[in-house]
């Protein structure tokens, strides 16, 4: 089973992911936790290039392709082998981030992007995607306070607004894959809902892997 987490910047998913991973393991599932961009030695180098605040001259198409390069490595090296071995994979951001940010955010036509994404991933799509729903201003304010500001956070408010709207369109196109969580609530409430949804999904779809 392949589960991904999505949301606008500062929506809190990254601070929730560790506890969620622990809960999944505690329930007896063999889990691989990873994130994008990065998650591999090669991907982490790409991540540094994409986020470097000095790379202001990067074109949207360059940015898009760098994300796909990082993803191609992650899918081949980590995600596919784990899924083939019957593990659960939890990934902090995946293909929907490229469609929301590089597609909707930079106003690029989606179809060619989807083709490249499909090439990079070999067509691998998530089984379940959790959307951490938080309005753009609140998200950027949180991000500003957590010290993790990167080159993409520097994009305009309009860009981030388009990203948010892009996510709404992606969810509307495939409602069965998505679960939306109100991320404006307390971290404990958000964590509880996410855990409940993910564990129920796993129990429904996957036989438990016996603890050794």
Q: Can you give the binding site for ligand TYD, defined by CB under 6 A? A: 9, 13-14, 36-37, 67, 92-93, 97-98, 101-102, 148, 150, 152
CB nearer to ligand TYD: give 24 or 66.
66
Element (H, E) at 6: strand 2-6
Nearest to 174 by CA among 120, 99, 77: 99
What is the spatial distance between Cα 105 and Cα 108, in angstroms, rounded to a whole number? 8
What's the closest the beta carbon of residue 68 comes to ligand TYD, in angstroms?
Answer: 8
Q: Looking at the DSSP assignment, which residues form a beta bridge with residue 130?
A: 5, 179
Relative orientation angle of helices 110-121 and 60-74, to the nearest 10 degrees: 30
* 12's tokens: 């809190």
What's the closest the beta carbon of residue 85 comes to ligand TYD, in angstroms?
Answer: 24
What's the closest the beta carbon of residue 209 comes to ligand TYD, in angstroms?
Answer: 28
CB nearer to ligand TYD: give 28 or 148.
148
What's the closest the beta carbon of residue 152 comes to ligand TYD, in angstroms?
Answer: 4
CB nearer to ligand TYD: give 85 or 169.
169
CB nearer to ligand TYD: give 15 or 200.
15
Residue 147: other Cβ atoms inside 10 A = 6
Question: Is the distance from CB of 135 to CB of 9 less than 8 angstroms?
Answer: no
Q: Which residue is nearest to ligand TYD (CB)?
A: 101
What's the closest the beta carbon of residue 52 comes to ligand TYD, in angstroms?
Answer: 12
CB nearer to ligand TYD: give 4 or 198.
4
What is the spatial distance between Cα 114 and Cα 27, in angstroms, rounded to a whole number? 35
Question: Is the distance from CB of 104 to CB of 166 less than 8 angstroms?
Answer: yes
């Amino acid at each position: 089973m392949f589960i991904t987490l999505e949301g606008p910047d500062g929506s809190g998913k990254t601070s929730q992911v560790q506890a969620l991973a622990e809960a999944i393991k505690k329930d007896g599932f063999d889990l691989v936790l990873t994130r994008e961009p990065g998650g591999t030695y090669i991907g982490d180098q790409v991540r540094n290039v994409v986020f470097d605040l000095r790379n202001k001259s990067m074109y949207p198409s360059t940015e898009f392709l760098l994300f796909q390069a990082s993803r191609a490595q992650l899918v081949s090296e980590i995600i596919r082998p784990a899924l083939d071995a019957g593990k659960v994979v939890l990934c902090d951001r995946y293909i929907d981030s490229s469609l929301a940010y590089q597609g909707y955010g930079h106003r690029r036509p989606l179809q060619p992007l989807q083709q490249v994404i499909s090439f990079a991933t070999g067509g691998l799509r998530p089984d379940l995607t959790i959307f951490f729903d938080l309005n753009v201003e609140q998200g950027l304010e949180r991000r500003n306070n957590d010290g993790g500001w990167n080159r993409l956070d520097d994009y305009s408010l309009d860009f981030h607004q388009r990203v948010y709207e892009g996510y709404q369109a992606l969810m509307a196109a495939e409602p069965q894959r998505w679960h939306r969580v109100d991320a404006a609530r307390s971290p404990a409430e958000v964590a509880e809902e996410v855990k409940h949804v993910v564990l129920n999904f796993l129990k429904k779809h996957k036989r438990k892997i016996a603890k050794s």
